[in-house]
Amino acid sequence: MLAIIGGSGLNQFPELRIIKERYVSTPYGDCSAPLTFAEIQSEGKNIPVIFLPRHGKGHRLPPHLINYRANLWALKEAGVTRILAINAVGGMGAGMGPGAFVVPHQLIDYTWGREQSFNFAADGYVNHIDFTQPYSARMRELLIQSLAVAELPFHQEAVYGCTQGPRLETAAEIQRLIRDGCDLVGMTAMPEAALARELGLEYAALCLVVNWAAGLADQELSVDEMMQVLAAGISDIKKTIFIFANATI
Ligand code: HPA
């Protein structure tokens, strides 16, 4: 079963046919919102999906306070095997300006103080997962095909640098990320992607660039402008999700 973890701008998904909502409590605490069990109706098929808004209903959780472990644990318990994450990000890579769709292939983690692991060590083994390729190759391929079918322009490779937030970066921090090889900057890919891997879940991300990263455009960053870009891109994100859900069954 496919789950969609919605990011900023995708707190609700009324286009889904909702079957039930279920509050889930896990050994790691509560997840961001009730899990929405739903169906995507596409080309005469009813495709089951679970939707979870990462920031909670009404966007009340900032990136550093999200209970990533509870979210991933609840999805696994609900029978999810694949996760499509949606992320609003800042852009640094060539052509990755506001409005660009990007399917990252790599990650650098700059976060700190977040619960990074389920710590299965307590159960008798230390969980050194392989994370060489943080995103599922198969899901990335399907996502790239879905963006092509949706006739959207997109970038099919990028390194996502995950910062701690909730503040945006300084211009010097962005220059460091560029030197490190990052093309995108966001605050939510980690530890989400690593926790998915610990649980053996396939995971890929669809990123929408909502601003040039700090210092790359001539003005200061404006959250209002980011929200406008997000609002303009959300219907294309939903269209891509519908195509993707149909391709993954
Ligand atoms: N930095 C970090 N996270 C973000 C940005 C940014 O510029 N834009 C959207 N999410």
Q: What is the pLDDT at residue 124? A: 64
Please give the distance, rounded to the nearest whole angstrom, from the Cα atom of residue 86 to the centre of ligand 1. Answer: 13
User: Which residues lie across from 162 on neighbouring strands?
Assistant: 109, 186
Q: What is the pLDDT at residue 218? A: 86
For residue 63, give the ligand 1 atom closest to its CA. 3
Please give the distance, rounded to the nearest whole angstrom, from the Cα atom of residue 158 to the centre of ligand 1. Answer: 15
Q: What is the pLDDT at residue 123? A: 62
Amino acid of residue 56: G
* 187: phi then psi, degrees, rounded to nearest 5: -125, 5
- Indicate whether residue 169 lines ligand 1 (CB < 6 A): yes
Please give the distance, rounded to the nearest whole angstrom, from the Cα atom of residue 32 to the centre of ligand 1. Answer: 20
Find, among 38, 28, 74, 80, the residue nearest to 54 by Cα: 74
Tens of pLDDT, residues 142-198: 999 999 999 999 999 999 999 999 999 999 999 999 999 999 999 999 999 999 999
- Indicate whether residue 88 lines ligand 1 (CB < 6 A): yes
Which residue carries 């649980």 as its tokens? 199
- Indicate whether residue 70 lines ligand 1 (CB < 6 A): no
What is the spatial distance between Cα 213 and Cα 171, in angstroms, rounded to a whole number? 8
Instruction: List, run by run, the mean pLDDT of 10-residue segments along the chain (249 residues).
Output: 90 85 93 94 87 90 96 97 97 97 98 91 73 98 97 97 97 98 98 97 98 94 93 95 87
Amino acid of residue 30: D
* Closest residue by CA, ligand 1 atom 2: 186
Please give the distance, rounded to the nearest whole angstrom, from the Cα atom of residue 186 to the centre of ligand 1. Answer: 5
- Indicate the length of the chain as a whole number: 249
Following DSSP, what letter does each residue of 123-183 receive, concatenated?
Answer: GTS------SS-S-HHHHHHHHHHHHHTT--EES--EEEE---SSPPPHHHHHHHHHHT-S
Mutate which of 168, 209, 216 for ligand 1? The one with the most ligand atoms within 8 Å of its CB, which is: 168
Q: What is the pLDDT at residue 10? A: 84
Q: What is the pLDDT at residue 58? A: 80
